[in-house]
Amino acid sequence: MSRIVLGVTGGVAAYKAALLLRLFTEAGHDVRVVPTESALEFVGAPTWEALSGNPVQTGVFENVPEVPHVKLGQTADLVVVAPATANTLARAAHGLADDLLTNTLLTARCPVVMAPAMHTEMWEHPATVANVATLRERGVLVIEPDSGRLTGADTGPGRLPDPEAIHAVCLQVLQGRPRDLAGQHVVVSAGGTREFLDPVRFLGNRSSGRQGIALAEAALARGASVTLVAANVSVDVPAGAEVVRVVTTSELRDAMLKAAESADAVVMAAAPADFRPVSFADAKIKKQPDGVAPSIELTENPDILVELVRTRSGRRPVIVGFAAETGDANGSVLDHARAKMARKGCDLLVVNDVGSERTFGQPDNEVTILTAEGSEHPVARAAKSEIAHAIWDAVVQRVE
């Protein structure tokens, strides 16, 4: 059981915080809701008190003998503000303390998660951009808002992510991982690319994107700002990451090279298709009356990992590759992996034995992490989230 302070600020999305509160209490946490005055214009105090089982106040002059403006922050294991308005982001960034929530933010020494929600113009305003950057620099985990339908007919970035997604971020944070990636920008690719033959058919592969997404979630929990380049992933992407969706290897390449320019670490967990059809048929390829199947001429795709290594300046970003290997007559899984590492020139290589059915789409994994210096770290079979943390442990040693 953790002690959670749920700050709710004045936006229509305050109703979603009621569902987030339910998720926390159902998981057995003790939640104190601290709404702002304007939040109560949207959802009233009785809702928060009934759902949390705790009293609710907005100012510092109620319930004074308990000194709540200091005590709440000091005793919390997590402070989460959802939704966080532009006004509250500004107050938090500037250290104002004009109500109970902002006092709590100043006294809290635990992790702080903020989930902004506002109209796109406000989110993109330079003042808000600067406030978010300040908060992130101080180690606050500011969740990237979703893009989509806003309160009115307008659409764009600014929606509060679903309560389940905010909850998942908070659970990661509550695991108490070290925030040793705070201030670092990491880029993770996930999923498998598709190469189209015609408007309906493509060459693809079995990557679900789970390991890459676990890496993104783990990096968020450790305080990084995360860009997730997602290629046809079949699992939900984490709230809090900047997500760039791609389909083909060429799109993945462009997105990775661009994101890597400002990155401290890059992990190529995606499975790009190695080959693509030489030509794309504008119309669906039809079966021939004579029963002869078409032959497909393939050409090799660019190797993104190699290009990332070649185009970096100096030792930044740290570059991590994955190697899906099977042992054969020419060598063991690790023999092939060592040769691959030498070929690709990355700093770390995470080696997966894919000779069995035990990797693709599975919740767990078993890997060996090879370093450029020649050491080997086996990571015993564990959930992909644990494997992700083991990979970041190895990365952290190189970004410090």
Q: Which of the following is catalytic: 205, 301, 352, 365?
A: 205
Could you tell me the smallest distance in angstroms from the CB atom of residue 243 to ligand CTP?
Answer: 18
Chain positions 221 to 250 lying near ligand CTP, rule: CB under 6 A, are 249
383/283 Cα distance (integer angstroms): 43
Q: Could you give the dihedral angle defined by the CA atoms of residues 67, 70, 76 and 82, in that order, rounded to the nearest 10 degrees?
A: 100
The answer to whether 284 is a known ligand-binding residue is yes
Does the footprint of ligand CTP cover residue 360 (CB under 6 A)? no
Q: Is 349 annotated as a binding residue?
A: no
Peptide bond into 83 cis (omega under 30): yes
Choice between 95 and 355, CB closer to ligand CTP:
355
- On whether 303 is known to bind a ligand per the annotation, the reply is yes
Task: Tell the smallest beta-carbon distance from residue 238 to ligand CTP (Å).
Answer: 20
Question: Binding to ligand CTP (CB under 6 A): which residues in 315-334?
Answer: 321-324
Residue pair 345/355 in contact by the 8 Å Cβ criterion = no
Q: Count residues contacting ligand CTP (CB under 6 A)?
A: 13
In sequence order, the 6+-apart residues with CB closer than 8 A to the CB of 118 are 11, 83, 85, 86, 128, 145, 158
Site for ligand CTP in 272-301 (CB under 6 A): 272, 274, 301
DSSP letters for 176-194:
T---TTTT-EEEEEEEB--
Residue 10: name the closest of 45, 48, 46, 40 by CA: 40
Give the shortest CB-352-to-ligand CTP separation in angstroms: 8
- Using CB under 6 A as the binding rule, whether residue 270 contacts ligand CTP is answered as yes
What six digits make up the tokens of 209? Answer: 């994107």
Only one of the segments 142-150, 217-225, 264-272, 284-292 lies at the binding site for ligand CTP (rule: CB under 6 A); that segment is 264-272
**Among residue numbers 73 through 102, which ones bind ligand CTP (CB under 6 A)?**
none
Examine the residue annotation and report whether 352 is marked as an active-site residue of this protein. no
Check binding of 305 to ligand CTP (CB under 6 A).
Answer: yes
- 303 near ligand CTP (CB under 6 A): yes
What is the Cβ-side half-sphere exposure of residue 114, based on CA atoms within 13 angstroms?
27
Rank residues 120 and 205 by Cβ distance to ligand CTP and give the closer one: 205
Tell whether residue 340 is among the known ligand binding residues.
yes
State the sign of the Cα–Cα–Cα–Cα dihedral 228, 229, 235, 236. Answer: positive
Among candidate residues 165, 184, 191, the one with its CA nearest the CA of residue 251: 191
254 is in an annotated binding site: no
Residue 32 pairs with which residues in a beta bridge?
5
The contact set with ligand CTP (CB under 6 A) reads 249, 268, 270, 272, 274, 301, 303-305, 321-324
Q: Which residues are catalytic?
A: 205
